[in-house]
Amino acid sequence: MPVPVNPILDDKIASLDVWHLKLPVNSVRDHGIGAVSDKIDILVVKLTTSSGAVGYGEASPWSVFTGTAEASFAAIDRYMRPHIIGCHLSNWRSILAVCRDCVAHCTEAKAAVETAFYDLVGHCSGLSVAMLLGGVVKTKIPLSCSLANPDFDADIELCKRLSQDNVNIVKLKAGFSTHAFDMMRLEVLAKEFPDFKVRVDFNQGLHPDEALMRVRDVASMQPDFIEQPVKAPLFSLMAEIRNAIDIPLLADESVFNMHDLLRAIDQKICDGISIKIMKTGSLSGSCQLSEVAAAAGLVCYGGDMFETGLAHMAGVHMIAAAPHITLGCEFYQAKYYLETDILENPFPIEDGHVLVPETPGLGVVVDENKVHHYSINHSTG
């Protein structure tokens, strides 16, 4: 006997909107592979069904890391749209499979469209995205805030604010300036904020000739972990550095997807990985990555790009459904970096943790007035 289809899930996708936003930020941030200042580029995707149900997703590209906003916009508007409009929502997994294959790369665009489908199906089914991903295994996630301001005095002020908010995990972005600057900041953090758990992320910033020396020195400060000291393809050097230190070494830019992870495991380049939906292009794919990493004995961290609360929340649901992502998350930008978020409600940070919503879909309300206000390009149909 055929299984009856939920009439709401049998709705057709009536329209897809995609906006390119430029959102103001409150400071310069320097990383090993590039700097960000003034504004960040993100895309917002909105799917609407024939009965008026909606789902939202975000693409958070960074040109030096994952790709450009313009490429993501074209991927969604030109290449994915024809495979989405007019399709039954009940076929959403098949639609996503086609969207993954219809354009190469553009993982942020794929993450945005998948997020919008999860949000939409969640609203139609009454389930949260974490429930759709397999079930909630954690209701709150420890928050880490990154320190990347070349003006370290400004980061000290940020640390005071974090301390007052009971956020006690920080990730120091290193390798964009001198070794002395990195060591000085680590020493000041240890002295002024002894309760902080400090992690160090080089964002590929170290030259191979000096990487071993600089990482060894940083490891002597006993940070919680050290992340991606050298360029993504330098697997042999990552393995050499890992063997030279007694601090866990995490791979970020070296591991975007399952193929990278299997190679990383084979070549023993790291003790853990930073998982980002903007790298995998998928919430469910990110959960799968964490399962394979854990099976190989690696630890997992919930990373992000330059995002609003919308993309943060997709990551929150993904981590909430992934038991092996145990090192917390870095969804700090909605509260601590953007001049204004695009969600109507404040991003839910409480006592140093991000709270996992229990309401259907992503559990967020997107402020469309802000989306229109900050939009520099919009396509609908």
Binding interface with Mg ion (CB under 5 A) = 201, 227, 252
Q: Which is nearer to Mg ion, 224 or 227 (CB)?
A: 227
CB contact at 8 A, 128 and 361: yes
Q: Which is nearer to Mg ion, 305 or 320 (CB)?
A: 305
Beta strand 13-24 pairing with 375-379: antiparallel
CB of 360 to Mg ion, least distance (A): 32
Residue type, 121: V
Q: Which of 120, 116, 24 is nearest to 76 (CA)?
A: 116
Q: Which is nearer to Mg ion, 302 or 348 (CB)?
A: 302
Residue type, 132: L
Residue type, 201: D
Token output for 159: 């640390």
Q: How far apart are CA 127 and CA 135, in angstroms?
A: 10
CB of 249 to Mg ion, least distance (A): 12
Q: Which is nearer to Mg ion, 119 or 252 (CB)?
A: 252
CB contact at 8 A, 48 and 89: no
- Buried b / exposed e over 75-102, threshold 16 CB at 10 Å, is bbbeebbebbeeebbbebeebbeebbeb
Q: Which is nearer to Mg ion, 123 or 242 (CB)?
A: 242
* Order of all β-strands in the sheet with 349-350: 140-142, 353-355, 349-350
Maximum separation of any 2 CA atoms in the chain, in Å: 71
CB of 127 to Mg ion, least distance (A): 31
Token output for 7: 């009439």
Q: Which is nearer to Mg ion, 58 or 201 (CB)?
A: 201
CB of 228 to Mg ion, least distance (A): 5
CB of 203 to Mg ion, least distance (A): 5
CB contact at 8 A, 196 and 170: yes
CB of 139 to Mg ion, least distance (A): 26
CB of 232 to Mg ion, least distance (A): 11
Residue whose beta carbon is closest to Mg ion: 252
CB of 301 to Mg ion, least distance (A): 9
Q: Which is nearer to Mg ion, 114 or 201 (CB)?
A: 201
The dihedral built from the CA positions of residue 308, 309, 310 and 316, taken in this order, carries a sign that is positive
Rg of the chain on CA atoms, in Å: 20
Orientation of helix 208-219 relative to helix 179-192, angle to 10°: 20
Per-residue CA distances from 72 to 17, 39, 88, 124, 152 (Å): 13, 17, 24, 27, 34
Q: Which is nearer to Mg ion, 33 or 96 (CB)?
A: 33
Q: How far is CA 99 from the centre of its chain?
A: 20
Q: Which is nearer to Mg ion, 124 or 174 (CB)?
A: 174
CB of 116 to Mg ion, least distance (A): 26
Q: In degrees rounded to 5, what are phi and psi of residue 309?
A: -60, -25
Token output for 271: 């003790």
Instruction: Give the H/E segment covering residue 354.
Output: strand 353-355
Q: Which is nearer to Mg ion, 57 or 175 (CB)?
A: 175
Q: How far apart are CA 372 and CA 215, in angstroms?
A: 45
CB of 303 to Mg ion, least distance (A): 6
